[in-house]
Structure formats: C-alpha cells, structure tokens
Amino acid sequence: MTIPTPVLNTFDRVGINYQYYQDRTDKVTVYNRFGGGSCETSPLVAYLIDWVYRTNNDYDLGRPSKVKYGDFDRVRYFVLDQDSNAYYTCLD
C-alpha cells in the first residue's frame, strides 16, 4: 500500500505507527461503536478507525488533545480513500 506523503506526515505528527500495519494482508473485523454494523478491512484501516474513536472520545470528554482538527480529518479521509465500506460502516 502506498501512503501519500501528506498522510505519512500526519501519521508521524499524531503518533500513528503505520509501519507495523502497512504491509499486512490479513483481514480484521471492525464494528461500529454505536451498534450500526460491522465489516472486514485491513489491519491499518482497523487501527485508524480505533484511533478516530479514541481521539473523538477525547474531544467529546473535553480532554486536552494534541491532535489538530485538520489532522483528525486527514486520517478520516484516508480511511475513506482506502476502504469506503469500512468508513461508511464505522465513521460516517
């Protein structure tokens, strides 16, 4: 999987260890945190969905976050680009 440089920069800025997941080819089941379904996706996309959930929780609970909204959105849009089904199942 080729990850665009701006996305790699975002991953580095927010502390996402993409190298561990990048070349894995197995499938992982992800679940919508509100009970809205599930689907299979790559380990990287599964990790990013979990990251989005955790980061969103911090925003919702008023916890200070070093993650800027632009970086948060870039990660979400990367998920959409890589696996629209997982995006629409879990993040939309």
* pTM (predicted TM-score): 0.94
What pLDDT digit, counting tens, does each position of 11-45 carry?
A: 999 999 999 998 899 999 999 999 889 999 999 99
List Cβ<8 Å contacts ≥24 apart for 19-25. Answer: 21/47
Domain housing 11: 5-90
List Cβ<8 Å contacts ≥24 apart for 4-9. Answer: 6/74, 7/74, 7/75, 7/78
What does the pLDDT read at residue 3?
94
Using the predicted structure, report yes or no on whether residue 49 has a pLDDT greater than 90: yes
Our count of domains for the chain comes to: 1
- Give me the DSSP letters along 72-83: HHHHHHHHHHH-
Number of C-beta neighbours around residue 30 at 10 A:
26
